């Protein structure tokens, strides 16, 4: 049971920008690969998300902004009318259950395979540097393909993809969007000097390498207003594809975060450490110091448990906490944490694909024995 003598406001309402939350527990974005082949969400996805609607905020699974942005089969998209209609079923179900959801906007960049790309073309990236990773295709798991470097005159088209997706997300009934600039997908491939060897205005200096993500933030906040846009960064993760870190994490991400302040975003969301692994940062990197450069609210993520969340919240290090894996097997995670109910363990083989099994069949705890003092 939770020690009730420890005060925490994790279970109390909060605001991230203009998004009002019933509590400070956030469901982290989780790719589950259960859309149909056209990237259209279905009733199955609506059931899954609605089961988790007691989270103060759900961040959707990463959602492809274009056919070019796709890197994993059966992941959802947000660029066609059919995808908008599919997502509307999901957002309606979450809202009916009293929840909130923002959409995570995704372009995988070099983390793709020619089999997933329009006309079997090479995936695009800041530079023609191959990732050391695997992706799911219709033929199973395959090594990523060699990418080609985007031409400078193609960059406005990338920003247009984000703009269009942001408009579609609004029409699909979301409460906001999260710019996926983490886990070494396209935007972070531009940010890090390990993956960006360009010589135009999108490469070289920190100012140049952060230009694309800032232009995307500008485009997306123009659609939504800053108060409904968040951004996810992962300054020290090698995921995905064994990507080396930037050679000066503090300078690069420090500059980026200070520039982001002008958009008055709803929140900054960090993966603290290596995604889904340890929380260590290399010598000389202080993620709390980077977070302190941001003027708005902050969501912390990566290998948290309730105790760590309570203590980091008490120290004012986080405004909200995002749990990923725990939400897979505990749809009622908020209630379980709040009332000290045992958690169900998470079976990894149900992460991706496999339909309803391991997706919508996790048990809800019986709360009927709780007395009114817990309400
Ligand atoms: C099955 C699975 C799918 C994930 N999909 C995404 C995703 O779509 N977008 C993203 O930014 N992170 C994704 N992540 C990373 C999680 O959001 C989170 O950062 C990670 O699991 C660490 O948090 P945790 O310790 O609470 O699980 C995924 C992780 C897992 C296990």
Using DSSP bridges, classify how beta strands 19-21 and 176-181 pair: parallel, antiparallel or unpaired. Answer: unpaired
Distance 325 CA to ligand 1 centre (A): 7
Instruction: Look at residue 103 and tell me whether its pLDDT is greater than 50.
Output: yes
Q: Indicate whether residue 180 lines ligand 1 (CB < 6 A).
A: yes
Q: What is the DSSP string of 246-293?
A: PTTHHHHHHHHHHHHGGG--SEEEEE-SSTTS-----TT--HHHHHHT
- Tell me how far apart the alpha carbons of residues 268 and 323 are, in angstroms, rounded to a whole number: 15
Q: Pairing state of beta strands 19-21 and 14-16?
A: antiparallel
Q: Using 50, 70 and 90 to split pLDDT, how confident is the model at 122?
A: very high
- 101 touches 57 (CB < 8 A): yes
10 Å CB burial of residue 60 (0-12, 13-18, 19+) is: buried
Q: Which of 45, 64, 230, 276 to mutate to test the pocket of ligand 1 (most atoms within 8 A of CB)?
A: 276
- Is pLDDT larger for residue 349 or for residue 310? 310
Q: What is the CA(257)–ligand 1 centre distance, in A?
A: 22
Following CA atoms 69, 73, 75, 81 in sequence, which dihedral angle do they give, to the nearest 10 degrees? Answer: 70
Distance of alpha carbon 270 from alpha carbon 297, whole angstroms: 11
List the structure tokens of 12.
């109390």
Which atom from ligand 1 is nearest to the alpha carbon of 303? 25
Tokens of 142: 């395959």
pLDDT digits (tens, 9 = 90+) for 225-283: 999 999 999 999 999 888 999 999 999 999 999 999 999 999 999 999 999 999 999 99
Say how many Å lie between the CA of residue 369 and the centre of ligand 1: 33
State the burial class of residue 114 (Cβ atoms within 10 Å of its Cβ: 0-12, 13-18, 19+): middle
- Burial environment of residue 374 by CB neighbours within 10 A (0 to 12, 13 to 18, 19 or more): exposed
Distance between CA atoms of residues 104 and 101, nearest Å: 10
Q: Measured from the CB, is residue 91 less than 6 Å from ligand 1? A: no
Domain assignment present for residue 373? The answer is no
Q: Would 367 be classed as within a structural domain?
A: no
Catalytic residue among 185, 253, 255, 352: 185
In a domain? residue 69: yes
Q: How far is the CA of 82 from the centre of ligand 1 (A)?
A: 26
Any atom of ligand 1 within 6 Å of the Cβ of 184: no
CB contact at 8 A, 35 and 49: no
- Please indicate, yes or no, if residue 370 is contained in any of the structural domains: no
Strands 14-16 vs 101-106: parallel, antiparallel or unpaired: unpaired
What's the pLDDT band for 347 if we cut at 50, 70, 90? confident
Between the CA of 78 and the centroid of ligand 1 the distance, in Å, is 20
CB 26 within 8 A of CB 59: yes
- Which ligand 1 atom is nearest residue 75's CA? 8
Range of the domain at 78: 4-350
pLDDT at position 4 is 47
For ligand 1, is residue 327 a contact (CB within 6 Å)? no
Unique residue bearing structure tokens 């059966």: 74
The 8-class DSSP code of residue 77 comes to: B
Residue from 25, 26, 31, 307 to probe ligand 1 pocket by mutation (most atoms less than 8 Å from CB): 31
Residue nearest to atom 31 of ligand 1 (CA): 325
pLDDT greater than 50 at residue 80: yes
**CA 322–ligand 1 middle distance (angstroms):** 10
- Lowest mean pLDDT segment, chosen from 6-15, 72-81, 144-153: 6-15
Q: Is the pLDDT of residue 3 over 80?
A: no
Query: Does 221 reside within a domain?
Result: yes
Q: Is the CB of 29 under 6 A from ligand 1?
A: yes
Q: Do 347 and 358 meet the contact criterion of CB atoms below 8 Å apart? A: yes
- Geometric angle at alpha carbon 330, from 21 and 313, rounded to 5°: 45
pLDDT at 222 over 60: yes
Considering only CA atoms, which residue is closest to atom 11 of ligand 1? 29
Which residue of 25, 26, 27, 30 sits with most ligand 1 atoms within 8 Å of its CB, as the best mutation to test the pocket?
30
The neighbour count for residue 316, using CB atoms within 10 Å, is 8
Residue 162 and residue 165: Cα distance in Å, rounded? Answer: 5
- The predicted-structure confidence for 15-42, as pLDDT tens digits, reads as follows 999 999 999 999 999 999 999 999 999 9
The predicted pLDDT at position 6 comes to 63
Residue 276, ligand 1, Cβ within 6 A: yes
Dig out the tokens for 367 from the structure: 């709360």
Q: Does some domain include residue 375? A: no
| Residue 342 placed within a domain | yes
Torsion angle of C-alpha atoms 19, 22, 27, 29, degrees rounded to 10: -10
Each residue's pLDDT tens digit, 128-144: 999 999 999 999 999 99
Q: How many domains does the chain have?
A: 1
Assess whether 162 carries a catalytic annotation: no
Q: Are 164 and 95 in contact (CB under 8 A)?
A: no
Which residue did the predictor score with more confidence, 346 or 157? Answer: 157
- Is the confidence at residue 311, as pLDDT, over 70? yes
At residue 2, does pLDDT exceed 60?
Answer: no
Q: What CATH code is carried by the domain that includes residue 197?
A: 3.20.20.70
DSSP result, 145-208: PPPEEPPGGGHHHHHHHHHHHHHHHHHTT-SEEEEEE-TTSHHHHHH-TTT----STTSSSHHH
Handedness of CA 219, 222, 224, 230 (dihedral sign): positive
**Is residue 362 assigned to a domain?**
no
Percent of the chain with pLDDT over 90: 93
CB 307 within 8 A of CB 1: no
């Amino acid at each position: 049971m939770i020690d009730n003598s420890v005060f925490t406001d994790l279970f109390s309402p909060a605001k991230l920008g203009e998004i009002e939350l019933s509590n400070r527990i956030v469901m982290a974005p989780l790719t589950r690969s259960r859309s149909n082949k056209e990237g259209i969400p279905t009733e199955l996805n609506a059931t899954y998300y609605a089961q988790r609607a007691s989270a103060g905020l759900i961040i959707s699974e990463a959602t492809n902004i274009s056919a070019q942005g796709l890197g994993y089969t059966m992941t959802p998209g947000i660029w066609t009318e059919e995808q908008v209609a599919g997502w509307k079923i999901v957002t309606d179900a979450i809202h009916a259950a009293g929840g909130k959801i923002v959409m995570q906007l995704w372009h995988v960049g070099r983390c793709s395979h020619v089999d997933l790309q329009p006309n079997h073309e090479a995936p695009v990236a800041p530079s023609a540097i191959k990732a050391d990773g695997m992706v799911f295709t219709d033929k199973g798991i395959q090594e990523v393909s060699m990418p080609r470097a985007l031409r400078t005159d193609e960059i406005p088209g990338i920003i247009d993809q984000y703009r269009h997706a942001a408009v579609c997300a609004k029409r699909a009934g979301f409460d906001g969007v999260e710019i996926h600039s983490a886990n070494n997908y396209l935007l972070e491939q531009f940010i890090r000097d390990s993956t960006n060897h360009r010589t135009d205005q999108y490469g070289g200096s920190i100012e140049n390498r952060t230009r694309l993500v800032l232009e995307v933030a500008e485009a997306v906040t123009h659609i939504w207003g800053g108060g409904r846009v968040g951004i996810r960064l992962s300054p020290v993760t090698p995921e995905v594809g064994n990507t080396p870190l930037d050679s000066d994490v503090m300078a690069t991400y420090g500059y980026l975060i200070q520039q982001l302040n002008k958009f008055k975003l709803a929140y900054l969301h960090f993966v603290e450490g290596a995604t889904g692994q340890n929380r260590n940062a290399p010598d000389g990197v202080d993620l709390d110091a980077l977070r302190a450069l941001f003027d708005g609210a902050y969501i912390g993520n990566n290998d948290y448990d309730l105790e760590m969340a309570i203590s980091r919240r008490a120290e004012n290090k986080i405004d909200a906490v995002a749990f990923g894996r725990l939400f897979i097997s505990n749809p009622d995670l908020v209630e379980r944490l709040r009332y000290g109910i045992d958690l169900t363990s998470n079976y990894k083989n149900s992460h991706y694909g496999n339909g309803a099994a391991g997706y919508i069949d996790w048990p809800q705890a019986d709360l009927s024995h709780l007395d009114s003092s817990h309400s």
